[in-house]
Amino acid sequence: MKAPAQREALTRQRILGAALKIVDRSGLDAVSMRRVAEALGVEAMSLYNHVDSKAALLDGVFERVLAGLPPPKKSATWAHALRHRARALRAALRAHPNALPLFASRPAVTPASLAHVEAVLADLARAGFTPDDALSALQVLAAYVVGHTVSSHAPRPPGAEAVPAYEGLSEADFPHVRAAARLLASHDVEKEFELGLGALLAGLDARSGRRRPRPKRK
């Protein structure tokens, strides 16, 4: 007789992986303890030994998306380090577009998610940013990456897509809008993202309260 197949142990990581698959397939509204339990072939109550609420489940999905970030590269400057982290975050978000609303509405709360926050703050501290300026830099960078990715890559519900009638605008009253509208079909949003990221990093460098090294006396 064949021995019964051993069931894979239920773990927090298995639960979060199943939840993220549901998000990728059906969106955030489809996530529930029951749906995740069904996907894993277990009773919903067994999930509570590892994830104590739906809110914790969503925080775990947030964490799993960030787990897709590549290891940070060694960088010569804080700006290069932050540029790499911003690009990596955008790529991770683009890989899971249905999870984008989480990043627009929830902070990082799990230790694994906060480890990424800690790493960015550490980069900025080493560069001489004051704690307050480092916090501002982190918040502004995250808001830009998430906001731009939401606007350019978040799925739109059927029928919710706005279709501006630019061609109906008067050329005399809206010459610049009409000219910009003609460029939309070929506009590169990734180049746009890089333009904004470069401007943001340059602005942070110019306006930060960093302790810049004093010039050596001759």
Domains of the chain, CATH where assigned = 12-155+188-207 (1.10.357.10)
3-state secondary structure of 71: coil
> How confident is the model over 159-184, as pLDDT tens digits?
666 778 888 899 999 999 999 999 98
How does the average pLDDT of the chain come out, rounded?
90
3-state secondary structure of 17: helix
Closest CA to 62 of 106, 122, 24, 29: 106
What is d(CA 144, CA 148) in angstroms, rounded to the nearest whole number?
Answer: 6
> How confident is the model over 90-132, as pLDDT tens digits?
999 999 999 999 999 999 999 999 999 999 999 999 999 999 9
What is d(CA 178, CA 180) in angstroms, rounded to the nearest whole number?
Answer: 5
Do the Cβ atoms of 20 and 61 come closer than 8 Å? yes
What is d(CA 38, CA 91) in angstroms, rounded to the nearest whole number?
Answer: 30
What is d(CA 110, CA 192) in angstroms, rounded to the nearest whole number?
Answer: 32
Tokens 């590549």, residue located: 70
The DSSP code for 94 is: H
Closest CA to 109 of 177, 59, 67, 61: 59
Do the Cβ atoms of 196 and 144 come closer than 8 Å? yes
3-state secondary structure of 211: coil
The DSSP code for 167 is: G
Q: pLDDT value at position 4?
A: 46
Question: Structure pTM?
Answer: 0.86
